[in-house]
Amino acid sequence: MVSRQIKNVLVTGGAGYIGSHAVRRLLRAGYAVTVLDDLSSGYRIAVERSSAGLFQHARFVEGSISDRAVTVRLLRESGIDAVMHFAAFIEVGESVTDPAKYYENNFAGALQLMQAMNEAEVKKLVFSSTAAVYGNPLSTPISEEQPRMPINPYGRSKLMVELAIEDFAAAYGLGYAILRYFNVAGANPEGLIGEAHEPESHLIPRILDVACGKVDTIGIFGTDYPTPDGTCIRDYIHVEDLVDAHLLAMEAIHGGAGKVFNIGSESGFSVREVIEACAKVTGKSIPVLEKPRRLGDPAILVASSAKIRNELGWQRQRPDLETIAADAWAWYQRRSDLFTKRVA
């Protein structure tokens, strides 16, 4: 159901994993969608597939959020009412070795986008943040009130955007929703779109690489943590549930103020549980290689979703690990070579 206030939505990074799911969800709900993506890690075909079988199609514009003039024109000519901002670089390890790349794209790029919004008088922004802004949390599950103390440039680049958003709200009347999440997994249940990062650092697709024989083993870093099976516990959220939260949060933006919501699984899953779920849904054995703990890996990282549940009525429709793994596996098997950036 489309509200009267928001009809036209710009999705930055809509050719990427989460962005393309948001595009499909928005189209299904009747919004007109424009995608701005420079295809640095996304796929044009993901935008095409996100409209498959639907009455409305997304408009795709290849370009960067850093190009303010292009963005202003786009916002004006498409009559954009709200922006969902997913475009970013996401590799934590790379952000440590090449922080400039992350500050430039994730922070300076977002600043250009927000200035373009200001110029075009677009006053609603949903920002894709990350639970990495908390760094090593003081306690789990992590609530929104915990201090933001990121421990890597990726997390810091996202925190800088959050701070800029808060200042833009106070000074220019920007309305916003900041959503923080950890590990997004699963795929569109129709198998049309899904996760296709290169390099892939996320656990579930890496386990699926082992399941189909592309890689020999999956490493487990630390088996002596104070958790029930000794392996780290992390937060996994189905991408479809996540994009539901984005729509709810966008519709709840009113005036020049904003809210911050964690999108979490509350209890999380251990690395071994994830491997077992993938073994079950694929029917394959997953050889593991146990390794020592990695420096700086907390035993448990899980976010609370109490706030968004209570305030916006968000509920996870796909909370169980097997559904997440099964949808990821269905996509993985159907994923075509069109979703690769590797040169043969």
Ligand X SMILES: NC(=O)c1ccc[n+]([C@@H]2O[C@H](COP(=O)([O-])OP(=O)(O)OC[C@H]3O[C@@H](n4cnc5c(N)ncnc54)[C@H](O)[C@@H]3O)[C@@H](O)[C@H]2O)c1
Binding-residue total with ligand X (CB under 6 A): 29
d(CA 9, CA 58): 10
15 is an interface residue for ligand X by CB under 6 A:
yes
d(CA 48, CA 262): 30
Q: 223: closest CA among 285, 138, 294, 286? A: 294
d(CA 52, CA 192): 8
Interface residue with ligand X among 50, 78, 130, 270 (CB under 6 A) is: 130
Measured in residues, the chain has a length of 344
Residues 248-307 binding ligand X (CB under 6 A) are: none
Residues 16-45 binding ligand X (CB under 6 A) are: 16-19, 36-42
Bridge partner list, 290: 220
Interface residue with ligand X among 27, 33, 65, 321 (CB under 6 A) is: 65
Interface residue with ligand X among 66, 78, 231, 270 (CB under 6 A) is: 66
d(CA 317, CA 320): 9
Rounded to 5 degrees, φ, ψ at 236 are -125, 130
Interface residue with ligand X among 10, 50, 68, 109 (CB under 6 A) is: 109
Judged by CB, which is closer to ligand X: 41, or 78?
Answer: 41
Residues 165-224 binding ligand X (CB under 6 A) are: 181, 183-184, 197
Q: 44: closest CA among 8, 20, 74? A: 20
- Identify the active-site residue in 43, 134, 154, 236: 154
CA dist list (Å): 338 to 42, 62, 82, 156, 343: 11, 17, 30, 33, 11
Residue with tokens 């390794």: 291
Q: Which stretch binds ligand X (CB under 6 A): 7-15, 214-222, 274-282, 317-325?
A: 7-15
Judged by CB, which is closer to ligand X: 109, or 175?
Answer: 109
Interface residue with ligand X among 87, 117, 187, 325 (CB under 6 A) is: 87
Judged by CB, which is closer to ligand X: 183, or 304?
Answer: 183
Note if 172 is an active site residue. no
Judged by CB, which is closer to ligand X: 284, or 307?
Answer: 307
Residue 157: CB atoms within 10 A of its CB come to 27
Copy the structure tokens of residue 235.
């937060």
Residues at the site binding ligand X, with contacts judged by CB under 6 A:
12-13, 15-19, 36-42, 64-66, 86-88, 90, 105, 109, 128, 130, 181, 183-184, 197
Name the residues annotated as catalytic. 154
